[in-house]
Amino acid sequence: MTPKRLPLLALPVMIGQEFKSWWYLLIVAGSSIFKQGFNWWAVLGIAAALLFIIGLAAVRYWRFSYLIDDQAVTINSGLFVKKVRHIPYPNIQTLSHQQWFFLQPFGLETLNIETSSKDGKEGAGTLFAVSTSVGQEIEAHRHHQPVLTTEASETEPQEPTTPTFDAKYQISARDLNLYAATSMGFLAILAALGWLWNKLDDVIPKTWQENAFDQLAHLAVFVLVFFIILFLAVAVLISYLNLLQRYYHFTLTKQAHTLTATRGFFKRLEVSVRISRIQAVRMRQSLLRHWLHLTTIQALLASNAADEEKDNDLVLLPVIKADLALSMMHNFIDWVPTTTPEFTPVSKANHWYFVRNWALWNLGLVAIIALVVGHFWRQWLLWTLIVGVLWVLIQSFQGLSAARFTGVAIIDAHTLLIRNGSLWHQTQYVVRRQNIQAMSLKQSIWMTRKHVAHLVLSIRRGDGNEPVEARYLEAESVEKIMTWYRRH
């Protein structure tokens, strides 16, 4: 069989990918315009950077080809060194379909093929802007279904059929708004804006910065507070709108042994994964969602197919009432229990360990901040100490909440549920014994005398492992879990 070439519309998509990899080159090339004013050397630098990026994409496009046969997908690529990636269908962990709005009229989409290779770049392949029939053909081979050829479809008209699903969930407008409104994603946006400001500091002329700070120094305190609140409101709005368009018409379906999650407004993303490939199911609550009794359900995968997702994990249900999470997920994954089993919690006598650790850590942080404020802005020291004490008290209560939440339960001979709490999240995992890469018991010398231990699980996630820890359990309970794990 002759390898196929990518459509011409794949070239702008590949150019966009190169821009994402080389955007800083344009910033470096254009920084001299801001620092030294307009000059032809700066224009030539920007033009050279643009030509370099476009040239890289053009060469990659020219050298790219792919072949789909009955056994595998073969991808030929490379800039100067030819690379041939042979991906057998049984090795495909996940297949994601990405379709930008400008590709929809042409029936084109980008396919990301992920395997369980430890090196995601070498174990995966991307087909840019190919026909949607290509993805359908790969899916048919994965599921051992007959492939409808182009010739057959032309000579034998097919009656349109409505797909039947074993289970289906589609997010409602209310739940979508609730998910976006309770997100803590604005913190990441604030961090990104801070990083961008730090980078712009090397580009923007010093005189511009000095003038801006002089103007701010003459503003009243309430005006500064107003600008801070406005800045936070903008970050929250950006996060809210981004999640609305990202999870627009989110749908999760189960067909035979495959789960398919579909979402997106500007870019339609569809990810399909075999249930047997799911390493664990994670139910996570942020601090705000914990107060509102809401949770988000994610799947941990041995691939990077969910790179678009926060934490590289595939969202199965964006938001659902916490007491309904297990029963709803059981409809899609049968080894998830329908109700929360009776689990072994942290004993009340050990709760104070969580409170002590969180209080001490935050006391140290407050002390450092107070020293800095006292040295540079002494007039704000009293308010810093008041806020710091309140912060330590709040975090101490968070530590108590985490202690009450932490625990572990043996669901059956093959499945385990483990829960833990952290600074901003409370999380529980449902994992099968066969997907636990390793299990260990951790004890310090004083913990041995107190008969207390930490239980640590290692679960495959992406190209690495995710450690899951339940702290300060009774040593006897941890030994019981270890015995369950060693049982064949």
Please, what's the largest Cα pairwise distance for the chain? 84
- Contact between 87 and 126 under an 8 Å Cβ cutoff? The reply is no
Q: What is the mean pLDDT of residues 302-331?
A: 79
For the chain, give the mean pLDDT. Answer: 84
Task: Identify the band that residue 251 occupies on the pLDDT scale cut at 50, 70 and 90.
Answer: very high
Average pLDDT estimate for 300-318: 70
Distance of CA 156 to the CA centre of its chain: 43
Collapsed DSSP state (helix, strand, coil) of residue 310? helix
Residues 103 and 89 sit within 8 Å (Cβ to Cβ): no
pLDDT band at 422 (very low <50, low <70, confident <90, very high): confident
Cβ neighbors of 109 (< 8 A, separation 6 or more) are 97, 98, 99, 103, 129, 130, 132, 135, 268
Confidence at residue 153, expressed as pLDDT on a 0 to 100 scale = 44
Closest to 415 measured CA to CA, from 445, 394, 436? 436
Each domain of the chain, given as residue ranges in start order, spans 10-155, 174-246, 251-346+406-486, 348-403
Separation in Å, CA 466 to CA 7, 151, 317, 369: 39, 47, 21, 32
Q: pTM of this prediction?
A: 0.80
Q: What does the pLDDT read at residue 448?
A: 92
pLDDT(244) > 90: yes
As a whole number of angstroms, the distance between CA 10 and CA 21 comes to 17
Alpha-carbon gap, residue 86 to 292, rounded angstroms: 48
Evaluate whether 284 touches 320 at the Cβ level (below 8 Å): no
Give me the pLDDT at residue 152, please: 44
Determine the pLDDT at residue 458.
Answer: 94
Query: According to the model, what pLDDT value does residue 90 have?
Result: 86
Ranges 156-160, 242-246, 256-260: which has the least confidence: 156-160
Specify whether the CB–CB gap between 347 and 407 falls below 8 A.
no
**Among candidate residues 165, 202, 171, 194, the one with its CA nearest the CA of residue 24:** 202
Residue 305 reports pLDDT greater than 80: no
User: Which alpha helices (DSSP H) does 160-255 contain, by range?
Assistant: 173-181, 185-200, 206-217, 221-246
DSSP designation for 219? S
pLDDT digits (tens, 9 = 90+) for 286-301: 888 988 999 999 999 8
pLDDT band at 204 (very low <50, low <70, confident <90, very high): low
Per-residue pLDDT for 406 more than 90?
A: yes
110-119, 143-152, 204-213: least confidently modelled range: 143-152
Among 95-109, 301-315, 319-333, 449-463, the range scoring the smallest mean pLDDT is: 301-315
Whether the per-residue pLDDT at 456 is higher than 60: the answer is yes
pLDDT exceeds cutoff 80 at 120: no
Residue 308 and residue 324: Cα distance in Å, rounded? 26
Q: Which stretch of 50-54, 150-154, 168-172, 282-286 has the lowest confidence by average pLDDT? A: 150-154
**Which residues are bridge partners to 261 per DSSP?**
252, 271
Mean pLDDT confidence for 343-348: 92
Q: Which helix (H) or strand (E) holds 477?
A: helix 475-486
Q: How confident is the model at residue 37 (pLDDT cuts 50, 70, 90)?
A: low
- Reply yes or no on whether the pLDDT at 403 is more than 60: yes
CA 34 to chain centre: 36
Q: How far apart are CA 317 and CA 465, in angstroms?
A: 23
pLDDT value at residue 185:
76
- Give per-residue pLDDT as tens, 219-234: 556 666 777 788 788 8
Residue 42's pLDDT band, with cuts at 50, 70 and 90, is low
pLDDT at 138 over 70: yes
Average pLDDT over residues 240-251: 93
Range of lowest pLDDT (12-21, 43-52, 105-114, 202-211)? 202-211
Among 36-50, 185-199, 287-301, 330-344, the minimum mean pLDDT is found in: 185-199
pLDDT at residue number 481: 95
Q: Are 314 and 301 in contact (CB under 8 A)?
A: yes
| Residue showing tokens 């007959």 | 146
Mean predicted confidence (pLDDT) in 309-338: 87
Q: Give the pLDDT score at 32.
A: 57
pLDDT the model gives residue 259: 93
pLDDT score of 156 more than 60: no
| pLDDT greater at residue 123 or residue 277 | 277
pLDDT for 454 beyond 90: yes
Spatial distance between the Cα atoms of 441 and 417, rounded to a whole number of angstroms: 17
